[in-house]
Amino acid sequence: MDVNIDVNLGTPTDAKMPLRNVTILGSTGSVGCNTVELIEKNPGDYTVEALTANRNVKLLAEQSERLKPKTAVLADPRGYKDLKAALSGTGIEVTAGPEAVIEAAAQPADWVMAAIVGAAGLKPTLTAVRRGATIGLANKECLVSAGDVFVKEVSSYGATLLPVDSEHSAIFQVFDFDNADRVRRIILTASGGPFREFSHAQMARATPEQAVAHPNWDMGAKISVDSATMMNKGLELIEAFHLFPVTAKQIEILVHPQSVIHSMVDYVDGSVLAQLGTPDMRTPIAYALAWPKRMSSPAPRLELEEIATLTFEAPDYERFPALRLARQALEAGGAAPTILNAANEVAVRHFLDKNIGFLDIVRIVGETLSAAPGGPLRNLDDVAEADTEARRIAEELIGKFPKDN
């Protein structure tokens, strides 16, 4: 089933954007913080319904004091008392726990930033979808882990998806949905990450500190490691398949180290349309926040004469086998992408904790894909079951992969 992510696209005549009520799921992460900044710079355009965070009490309290949401929610209930004390006298309701995050997503914000990292973001995002909200989708796992199920829910409840990943935002801006059959291919660009020129031996010795030091983008730790393995591009491949009406074979990956061209759409007449910009997440976030209008952003302006040269290269599937695993999972369908994502989350966490080596991440994902049962995903219970089993298998495998030295 194709999902219409371009629904109700009109041509507004008012110069000023109507006041928009916003909830930010995951406000203390990288995407969340950038969203908060943009809202603060445009206070007359937005009100805030709810802010949620995992466990960063201090930052959530600071954001809440500035944005004055109706509700501030902490997923980890252990921080409830501290958050309650920090916001005492503000009139902001404070709640905590995973169910409280889901309840925050159910509150009547007309625009929701889905920026909770990992599979934990699935239920809150679906809750917002089921009330027909407009979703700024920064959570990869909604489409990777539960793609067909998630897309069906979006279609059934009339929600609108606005991709926030820079690559999918770029495609969204240049994709002709009225003539989708005239699209030859989608070209997802990839920076290549911090290890683009590393040998296999160098990657075997890579540390978490090196992996999170992305040359272009300022991102959270998990996403930065995914960039280093290039699993992020594999996940984006699966996302693009669900977001846009093309086949898997029509989606290609191209390494572009400068991160200026964020992705391209190649049409049958030979035209290739691209979206360009500096590597700053505030640009795609601003696009989604203001859609269908546009808003100013503090992102640096693109000065092509200063960059002078843009380069491109084919991805190396031997040094970055995560790309091959992701495409195989997409082609297999069913639970395979769910298993891929769950195993990757487990492996990345253990790498960041220095329990395994960098190369072990993809090994564990591959082993888990081979060991975990596949099959169709009919509903969220099936998704949850596949996710849980994949995590169990990945955890068992951790001890079998001694850290590379």
Q: Let me know if 77 is exposed, middle or buried by CB neighbors in 10 A (0-12, 13-18, 19+).
A: middle
pLDDT score of 70: 98
Dihedral over Cα of 209, 210, 215, 220: its sign: negative
**Does 91 have pLDDT greater than 70?**
yes
pLDDT score of 5: 56
**Domains contained in the chain, CATH given:** 20-164 (3.40.50.720)
pLDDT score of 4: 47
pLDDT digits (tens, 9 = 90+) for 32-67: 999 999 999 998 999 999 999 999 999 999 999 999
pLDDT score of 9: 34
Question: H or E segment at 142?
Answer: helix 141-157
**Does 214 have pLDDT greater than 90?**
no
DSSP string, 164-225: -SHHHHHHHHH--GGGGGGEEEEEEEE---TTTT--HHHHHT--HHHHT--SS----HHHHH
pLDDT digits (tens, 9 = 90+) for 75-85: 999 999 999 99
Three-state secondary-structure class, residue 134: strand
Q: Let me know if 308 is exposed, middle or buried by CB neighbors in 10 A (0-12, 13-18, 19+).
A: exposed
What's the CA gap between 154 and 152, in Å, rounded? 5
pLDDT digits (tens, 9 = 90+) for 162-212: 999 999 999 999 999 999 999 999 999 999 989 999 999 999 999 999 999
What's the CA gap between 142 and 26, in Å, rounded? 14
Q: Are 286 and 295 in contact (CB under 8 A)?
A: yes
**Nearest residue to 338 (alpha-carbon basis) of 401, 397, 396, 391:** 391
Q: Where are the beta strands (DSSP E) in 75-114?
A: 93-96, 111-114
Name the band, by pLDDT with cuts 50, 70 and 90, for residue 385: very high
Residues above pLDDT 90, as percent of the chain: 86
CA distances from 9 to 19, 177, 347 (A): 18, 11, 40
What's the CA gap between 123 and 262, in Å, rounded? 29
pLDDT score of 403: 55
Higher confidence at residue 382 or residue 217?
A: 382
Average pLDDT of the chain to the nearest whole number: 92
What's the CA gap between 181 and 163, in Å, rounded? 21
pLDDT digits (tens, 9 = 90+) for 122-150: 999 999 999 999 999 998 889 999 999 99
Higher confidence at residue 151 or residue 374?
A: 151
Count the alpha carbons within 13 Å of 27 in the hemisphere toward its beta carbon: 34
**Does 14 have pLDDT greater than 80?**
no
pLDDT score of 7: 40
pLDDT score of 168: 97
